[in-house]
Structure 1
Amino acid sequence: MASGSPQSFQVISSLRYDPSLPDVVAQHAAQSYPEPRPTPYYLLPYHLDRLINAAQHFNWHHALQFLEQGLESFTSALDSFIPDRTKPWRLRIVIANKPGAGLTVDVNPAAPIEPLQLLLPFATDATQQSTPWRIYVDSQPTVPSAFTTHKTTAREYYTAARHRAGIMSPQEQAEVLVVNPAGKVMEGSITTPYFRRRGGSDNQDNPDNRLGWITPPLSCGGNAGTTRRYALAQGFCAEQVIPASELVDGEECWISNGVRGFIRGVVVLRQQE
Structure 2
Amino acid sequence: MFQLLSSTRYDQYLLSLDWNRDDDGPCPFLLLPYHHERLVDAAKQHNWVQVTASLSYPLLKLSCLKAVHDHSSDENPTAFRIRITVSQTGEVSVSTTPLSALISDPMAPSLFNPLSDMSYDGPIVSLQIDSELTTPSIFTTTKTTHRSLYDQARARAAIPTLSPTQDVLLINENNCVMETSIFNVAFHRSSSWITPETSTGCLPGVLRRWLLSDGRIREDTKHELTRNNIINGEWVLLFNGVQGCRLGRVIDSVPRR
TM-score tier by shorter-chain length is 0.7 to 0.9
Q: Of residues 195, 216, 231 in structure 1, which corresponds to 2:211?
A: 231
The equivalent residue for 1:40 is 28
The equivalent residue for 1:207 is none
The equivalent residue for 1:4 is none
C-alpha distance after superposition, 1:90-141 (max 9, x if no partner): 111000012xx33001211125554322456329x9x734231101111100
The answer as to whether partners of 1:129 and 1:264 remain within 8 angstroms in 2 is no
The equivalent residue for 1:93 is 84
Which amino acid letter does the alignment assign opposite residue 248 of structure 1?
I
Q: Of residues 61, 77, 97 in structure 1, which corresponds to 2:63?
A: 77
The answer as to whether partners of 1:21 and 1:115 remain within 8 angstroms in 2 is no
C-alpha distance after superposition, 1:43-76 (max 9, x if no partner): 1111001100100111111222221x3x223211
Q: TM-score, normalised by structure 2?
A: 0.87
Gaps of 5+ in 2: none
Secondary structure in 2 matching 1:229? helix
Count of matched residue pairs: 241
Cα separation, 2, equivalents of 1:111 and 1:219? 35
Q: Within the alignment, does 1:218 sit opposite 2:198 as a pair? A: yes
Instruction: Please state how far the C-alpha of 1:270 moved relative to its aligned partner.
Output: 6.2
The equivalent residue for 1:3 is none
Which amino acid letter does the alignment assign opposite residue 88 of structure 2?
N
Q: Within the alignment, does 1:173 sit opposite 2:159 as a pair? A: no
The answer as to whether partners of 2:231 and 2:253 remain within 8 angstroms in 1 is no
Deviation larger for 140-149 or 56-65: 56-65
Q: Within the alignment, does 1:154 sit opposite 2:161 as a pair? A: no
C-alpha distance after superposition, 1:170-214 (max 9, x if no partner): 13311111110111011111001110115xxx6xxxxxxxxx100
Instruction: Please state how far the C-alpha of 1:235 moved relative to its aligned partner.
Output: 0.5
Deviation larger for 140-149 or 108-117: 108-117
Q: Cα 1:193–1:109, aligned 2, differ >3 Å: closer, same or farther?
A: same
Instruction: Please state how far the C-alpha of 1:145 moved relative to its aligned partner.
Output: 0.3
Cα separation, 2, equivalents of 1:20 and 1:114? 7
Instruction: Write the mapping of 1:55-134 to structure 2, written as runs, cut at 5 A.
Output: 55-67=43-55, 69=56, 71-82=57-68, 83-84=71-72, 87-98=78-89, 101-119=90-108, 121-122=110-111, 128-134=120-126
The answer as to whether partners of 2:82 and 2:96 remain within 8 angstroms in 1 is yes
Instruction: Please state how far the C-alpha of 1:14 moved relative to its aligned partner.
Output: 0.6
Secondary structure in 2 matching 1:183? coil
The answer as to whether partners of 1:135 and 1:267 remain within 8 angstroms in 2 is yes
The answer as to whether partners of 2:230 and 2:253 remain within 8 angstroms in 1 is no
Secondary structure in 1 matching 2:43? helix
The equivalent residue for 1:53 is 41
Cα separation, 2, equivalents of 1:141 and 1:34? 38
Q: Within the alignment, does 1:139 sit opposite 2:131 as a pair? A: yes
Cα separation, 2, equivalents of 1:149 and 1:249? 27
Cα separation, 1, equivalents of 2:40 and 2:101? 29
The answer as to whether partners of 2:63 and 2:94 remain within 8 angstroms in 1 is no
Q: TM-score, normalised by structure 1?
A: 0.82
Q: Of residues 6, 11, 21 in structure 1, which corresponds to 2:4?
A: 11
Higher strand fraction: Structure 1 or Structure 2?
A: 2
Which amino acid letter does the alignment assign opposite residue 75 of structure 1?
K
Q: Cα 1:35–1:80, aligned 2, differ >3 Å: closer, same or farther?
A: closer
Identical columns (%): 32
Which amino acid letter does the alignment assign opposite residue 79 of structure 2?
P
The answer as to whether partners of 1:120 and 1:231 remain within 8 angstroms in 2 is no
Secondary structure in 1 matching 2:131? coil
The answer as to whether partners of 2:3 and 2:85 remain within 8 angstroms in 1 is yes
What is the RMSD computed on CA atoms of the aligned residues? 2.3
